[in-house]
Amino acid sequence: MEQRKRDARADSLPPDTPGQSGRAIVVEPWLKRPSGRGISDDDPRTPEGRLDEAMGLARAIDLTVVEGGLVTLNTVRPATYIGTGKVDEIAGLTKSLDAGVVIMDCAVSPVQQRNLEKAWNAKVLDRTGLILEIFGRRARTREGALQVEHAHLTYQKSRLVRSWTHLERQRGGFGFLGGPGETQLEADRRVIEDRLRRIEAELDKVKRTRKLHRDSRKRVPYPIVALVGYTNAGKSTLFNRMTSATVLSADMLFATLDPTLRSLELPQGTRVILSDTVGFISDLPTMLVAAFRATLEEVIEADVILHVRDMSHVESGAQSQDVVKILGELGIEPNDRRLIEVWNKIDRLDADGRSGLMASAQRHTAGQWPVPISAVTGEGIDTLEDAIQSRLAERRLTFALTLDPSDGAGLSWLYRHAEVLEREFGEDGLMHVTVRADADNAARLRAKFPSDA
């Protein structure tokens, strides 16, 4: 009984933070299918591509990857996920390579995790656990930390339920219920739920403050341009290039976690606010998408959304599909007029790759051309700025207004809520003002100047 209780609790505990000099083995399980494709038939990724990415994720929490390999399997084993032969082989490796962590790039159940940890005498992290770990380390703001903790606890809770069901089933056979193991699990679950509720209350407070900020920014008539894209696509590099800022950009997955905003002036003089935010990844844990929804509201409400893609990456197409899918979960459809595809890192392509890319860019429907750029060399940035400008113009309306010269309050309202393009005195002694405003402010403007607008 004592033993069982301890095991059950081990499931509910968060993965230990791997040590400073963590040496890790990365295992990429690859389920064989009759079609010869991967986990799902419409998966455009290669096993090698997935393995590379998983190794990158492991390095993102400063693990030293001492070995990484594919394990093909015909079926998932309930006890250990992979076959016993492979389990033994990896046990040998963890020992000879002195690895304290094994990353399983899949979703392992609490039971599988426990069995593997025992067999390998190493900490086992699955893909969700690993991503949560990275996010936990990157969170810098209070909101970010709360969101990650929320996701982490939700993950733990889901694992509690699963192992509990397992125990229940096992005990059902003996015809009794209850016992210390279950009581402990219930207590664990209650602790998690209490904590989740407290975090939600706190997040609610933070969210209200953010909303106030956003609302007050909305009254300032600057449109928001949001950067989205797969992790490592070059969003922060582009952000820095366009705003002359120095946001951390690094060849590291999930370098950015908390959103960053900065204003910049487009060449035509329009001032916009550029927002850099967390990158996406394939199989992004759903609890993270949910937890980060508030942060991603910046994107949901943006006037223009730049989907930054790493065109030099072999899996660029698959990455793009993942981003499109997550955008869909946020309610942003692929044909949304606010979206502009930004084809980044073209400096890394050779002449053939480049001309192929330019040709396929041209094949897009007029008005939806992707913009090839290099955030590093600056190539194509001017075209991108023009594209942003013209998308904004589509969304913003221009008004020609006439004001009494003594109406200082009216004029200052216009400066606060719209972009004043022109202002002159007519021969009629009145002031003629041309302004441009976004949809929200256009409505207010119509209400305020009914005879003109």
| Least gap, CB of 263 to ligand GTP (angstroms) | 19
- The yes or no reply on residue 344 touching ligand GTP (CB under 6 A) is yes
Is the Cβ of residue 13 or residue 250 nearer to ligand GTP in the bound state? Answer: 250
Q: What is residue 211's three-state secondary structure? A: helix
Is the Cβ of residue 283 or residue 347 nearer to ligand GTP in the bound state? Answer: 347
| Least gap, CB of 257 to ligand GTP (angstroms) | 8
**Residues 300 and 331 sit within 8 Å (Cβ to Cβ):** yes
Is the Cβ of residue 217 or residue 348 nearer to ligand GTP in the bound state? Answer: 348
Q: Pick out residues in 349-408 that bind ligand GTP (CB under 6 A).
A: 374-376
Structure tokens at 358: 């330019």
Q: Under the rule (CB under 5 A), what is the footprint of Mg ion?
A: 235-236, 255-256
Distance of alpha carbon 204 from alpha carbon 207, whole angstroms: 5
Where are any strands of DSSP class E within 291-450?
304-310, 339-344, 371-372, 397-403, 419-425, 431-437
Distance of alpha carbon 72 from alpha carbon 55, whole angstroms: 17
Give the residue from 275, 322, 325 showing the smallest Cα distance to 302: 275
- The yes or no reply on residue 295 touching ligand GTP (CB under 6 A) is no
Is the Cβ of residue 181 or residue 229 nearer to ligand GTP in the bound state? Answer: 229
Is the Cβ of residue 114 or residue 235 nearer to Mg ion in the bound state? Answer: 235
Is the Cβ of residue 236 or residue 295 nearer to ligand GTP in the bound state? Answer: 236
Q: Which does 233 bind (CB under 5 to 8 A by kind): ligand GTP, Mg ion, none?
A: ligand GTP
Is the Cβ of residue 126 or residue 298 nearer to Mg ion in the bound state? Answer: 298
Distance of alpha carbon 309 from alpha carbon 409, whole angstroms: 46
Q: Pick out residues in 158-187 that bind ligand GTP (CB under 6 A).
A: none
| Least gap, CB of 250 to Mg ion (angstroms) | 8
| Least gap, CB of 374 to Mg ion (angstroms) | 16
Give the 3-state secondary structure percentages of the chain, helix then strand then coil, rounded to 5. 50, 20, 35
Is the Cβ of residue 12 or residue 231 nearer to ligand GTP in the bound state? Answer: 231
Half-sphere exposure at residue 433, Cβ-oriented, CA atoms within 13 angstroms? 24
| Nearest residue (beta carbon) to Mg ion | 256
Distance of alpha carbon 351 from alpha carbon 71, whole angstroms: 37
| Binding test (CB under 6 A) with ligand GTP, winner from 18, 110, 229, 380 | 229
Q: Which residues of 290-306 are buried (b: 16+ CB within 10 A; e: fewer)?
A: ebbebbbbbbeebbbbb
| Nearest residue (beta carbon) to ligand GTP | 279
**Residues 323 and 229 sit within 8 Å (Cβ to Cβ):** yes
* All residues at 6 or more sequence positions from 210 whose CB lies less than 8 Å from its CB, including other chains: 143, 294, 297
Q: Which does 80 bind (CB under 5 to 8 A by kind): Mg ion, ligand GTP, none?
A: none
Structure tokens at 370: 């992707």
Q: Which does 150 bind (CB under 5 to 8 A by kind): ligand GTP, Mg ion, none?
A: none
| Least gap, CB of 399 to ligand GTP (angstroms) | 38
- The yes or no reply on residue 236 touching ligand GTP (CB under 6 A) is yes
Q: Which does 136 bind (CB under 5 to 8 A by kind): ligand GTP, Mg ion, none?
A: none
* All residues at 6 or more sequence positions from 333 whose CB lies less than 8 Å from its CB, including other chains: 327
| Least gap, CB of 257 to Mg ion (angstroms) | 8
305: which strand partners? 226, 339
Residues that bind ligand GTP (CB under 6 A): 229, 231-237, 249-251, 253-256, 279, 344-345, 347-348, 374-376
